[in-house]
Amino acid sequence: MSPIPPGSTVGVLGSGQLGRMLAIEARRMGYRVHTLSPDRDSPTGQIADREVVADYEDLDAVREFASRVDVVTFEFENVSSAAADAAEVFAPVRPSGAVLHTTQNRLREKRFLERGGFPCARFREVGSPEELEVAARAVGFPAVLKTAGFGYDGKGQRVVRSSAELQSAWRGLGGTVAILEELVEFEQEVSVVAARGLDGSFAHFGPVGNTHRNHILDVTVAPAPLPEALAAEAVDLARGILEALQVVGVLCVEMFLAPGGRLLVNELAPRPHNSGHYTIDACATSQFEQQLRAVCGLPLGSPIQLCPAAMANLLGDKWSHGEPNWEAALRFDRVKLHLYGKATPRPGRKMGHLTALAETAEAAEARVRAAREALTAQP
């Protein structure tokens, strides 16, 4: 298949910050960008040539959108298989609708991991109050109950510490199909963002260390403080997963490092990931350029990291006492500001991020945290 060269048009389903950062890279490399989502003046739409405002389930709109682009990719993974199939008639969809289908549902994803022999936390499917009791006996306590569909950033999950809490937790999640999973007492959370090209080539950015706050990614440190053997194992897991899913594009594998040096796969995201944002400032090729190269059938770029880095998210909470003090953060050496063009800051909403570069990952982390603190420090 011939590559989709610069000058062509990339269609992005979804219009958030991931699409925005992809669009910035695509524009830099001479591509045109169209985006489709239900939102107007979106983070991606502000950069794109064309912003289509339509529901993802409006298949006529999806068809019209796909007929005017050379390749369709996405930044929002809860696009239905029907929409991916409708688009596929007009332009290649990368990664494929099948990859979306597997990864947008925790149960399908876990079954895929299990079948492939990829290690993950013990889990059971839950579809009824009786199944919940059976699942609890197999999984034990403490456990996490997660809805099977539409979960991200900790939405749709509850920690359950005893059998007394089981039924109310499930009702609280809407009593829908869910999984009950062991609560892992992890030592670290790490992720690997990797890419697979149209020709099957593979490139990865190496494991990074993540800390979450309220189930939302807070800080990423790159590289992760992992012994070499575990870092290699994390990369091997990612390689195996991208291969088994036949991904064309970028995919992030989130993992727990459990006691005893065991890596367990927690979640897959078939697109660039928040934990890979540091690659824009710290790597020879960013995760967004890599996504563009992969979905356009171009050679993957070198993922080499040029300098240790750390990334800190800026959530809407930072605006609770007014506009953050940008000058104060930008006074820090080698700190880069990224804002996503979102008009309304809400608590928990990802508004932007800071990346810091330094001689070591620890120094980069300290620097990015200090720069973020400075945004809201009282004079």
What's the min distance (Å) between Cβ of 271 and ligand AMP? 14
Q: Which is nearer to ligand AMP, 29 or 258 (CB)?
A: 258
Work out whether 165 is an interface residue with ligand AMP (CB under 6 A).
no
Q: Which residue's CB comes closest to ligand AMP? A: 184
CB-CB contact of 27 with 42 (8 Å): no
Q: Which of residues 52-111 bind ligand AMP (CB under 6 A)?
A: none
Task: Estimate the crossing angle of helix 17-28 against helix 287-295, to 10 degrees.
Answer: 70
Which of these segments, 33-41, 87-95, 182-190, 331-339, binds ligand AMP (CB under 6 A)? 182-190
3-state DSSP assignment of residue 147: strand
SS (H, E, C) 115-172: HCCCCECCEEEECCHHHHHHHHHHHCCCEEEEECECCCCCCCEEEECCHHHHHHHHHH
Cα–Cα distance measured from residue 194 to residue 336, given in angstroms and rounded to the nearest whole number? 23
Cα–Cα distance measured from residue 39 to residue 37, given in angstroms and rounded to the nearest whole number? 5
Amino acid at 339: L
Cα–Cα distance measured from residue 240 to residue 244, given in angstroms and rounded to the nearest whole number? 6
What's the min distance (Å) between Cβ of 146 and ligand AMP? 6
**The one among 181, 281, 289, 365 contacting ligand AMP by CB under 6 A:** 181
Cα–Cα distance measured from residue 132 to residue 191, given in angstroms and rounded to the nearest whole number? 30
Q: Is 281 left (phi over 0), alpha (psi -120 to 50) or beta?
A: alpha
Work out whether 339 is an interface residue with ligand AMP (CB under 6 A).
no
Q: Which is nearer to ligand AMP, 37 or 274 (CB)?
A: 274
Work out whether 151 is an interface residue with ligand AMP (CB under 6 A).
yes
**The one among 12, 24, 184, 198 contacting ligand AMP by CB under 6 A:** 184
CB-CB contact of 365 with 221 (8 Å): yes
Strand partners of residue 311: 220, 355
Site map for ligand AMP, 109-148, x if CB under 6 A?
Answer: ------------x----------------------x----
What's the min distance (Å) between Cβ of 56 and ligand AMP? 21
Q: Which of residues 32-51 bind ligand AMP (CB under 6 A)?
A: none
What's the min distance (Å) between Cβ of 111 and ligand AMP? 16
Which of these segments, 179-187, 197-205, 300-308, 341-349, binds ligand AMP (CB under 6 A)? 179-187
- H/E segment holding residue 36: strand 32-37
Residue 287 has phi, psi (to 5 degrees) of -65, -25
**The one among 44, 103, 266, 287 contacting ligand AMP by CB under 6 A:** 266
Q: Which of residues 185-244 bind ligand AMP (CB under 6 A)?
A: 189, 212, 215
Binding site for ligand AMP (CB under 6 A): 121, 144, 151-152, 154, 181, 183-184, 189, 212, 215, 254, 266-267
